Amino acid sequence: PVKAVEAMRDQEPKSLRALNEIIAASEPMVAGGTRAVLGEGPIGAPIAFVGEQPGDQEDLHGHPFVGPAGQLLDRAFEAAGIDRSRAYLTNAVKHFKFEQRGKRRIHQKPTGGEVKHYRWWLEKELDFVQPQLIVALGATAVLALAGKAVPITRARGPAQFGERAGFITVHPSYLLRLPDPAAKEQEFAAFVADLKRAHSLVA
């Protein structure tokens, strides 16, 4: 797959559609998933959200953020007054990586090497979409966008990803994993506040 990606890089896609065709036709870096889950949303969307990688539901349906984390994100968007159809949503890694446990496919966090492997695609994708602001949802997105690991708790808020204006916040899955309902509610409110603030930074 690494060789294949290198060969594709020479093709220099001229549009987001051409890029997506390359991504869709490529082998996953880690075998097992059903398909590449491509970014979605209008070119020129003022705000783009970058997650980690598609989960089980995203892999099955072929759309980003449609599983439990996506549903939580939708609720947060609604609370923050963000229209999902006007935003661009994508992931740092385009294929689902998992461990099979019985019938369940348990999500596996991508390694730094995998994030790096997919980074060229993400950069190209964002070059075509040209959002005014890129919101990194969680540590993997930050790693992909900043090119280095940055602790979310310290860096939460407005950020710069190279030439691009960015914003760092938590991943919705983090909220799903919190066991204490009060903490969950509090963290959800903080997440909504982050989204509102990010949204206020775009025209």
Which residues of this chain interact with ligand URA, rule CB under 6 A? 51-55, 58, 64-65, 67, 69-70, 91, 173
Which region holds residue 131: left if phi is over 0, alpha if psi is between -120 and 50, else beta? beta
Write a three-state SS string for 17-69: HHHHHHHHHCCCCCCCCCCCCCCECCCCCCEEEEECCCCHHHHHHCCCCCCHH
Tell me the closest approach of the beta carbon of residue 57 to ligand URA, in angstroms: 8
With CB atoms as reference, the residue minimizing the distance to ligand URA is: 51
Among residues 26 and 53, whose Cβ is nearest to ligand URA? 53
- Taking the C-alpha atoms of residue 101 and residue 185, their distance in angstroms, rounded to an integer, is 30
Among residues 163 and 173, whose Cβ is nearest to ligand URA? 173
- Across the chain, the runs of DSSP E, i.e. the strands, are 47-51, 88-91, 98-101, 104-107, 133-137, 157-161, 164-169
The SS3 assignment for 129 reads helix
Among residues 26 and 173, whose Cβ is nearest to ligand URA? 173
Tell me the closest approach of the beta carbon of residue 94 to ligand URA, in angstroms: 10
Among residues 13 and 110, whose Cβ is nearest to ligand URA? 110
User: In this structure, what token pair is assigned to residue 148?
Assistant: 């280095």
Tell me the closest approach of the beta carbon of residue 63 to ligand URA, in angstroms: 8
Among residues 22 and 37, whose Cβ is nearest to ligand URA? 37
**Do the beta carbons of residue 60 and residue 20 sit within 8 Å?**
no
Tell me the closest approach of the beta carbon of residue 45 to ligand URA, in angstroms: 16
Among residues 64 and 166, whose Cβ is nearest to ligand URA? 64
Contacts of 94 (CB under 8 A, 6+ apart): 23, 28, 36, 37, 38, 53, 54, 118, 121
Tell me the closest approach of the beta carbon of residue 52 to ligand URA, in angstroms: 4
Tell me the closest approach of the beta carbon of residue 66 to ligand URA, in angstroms: 7
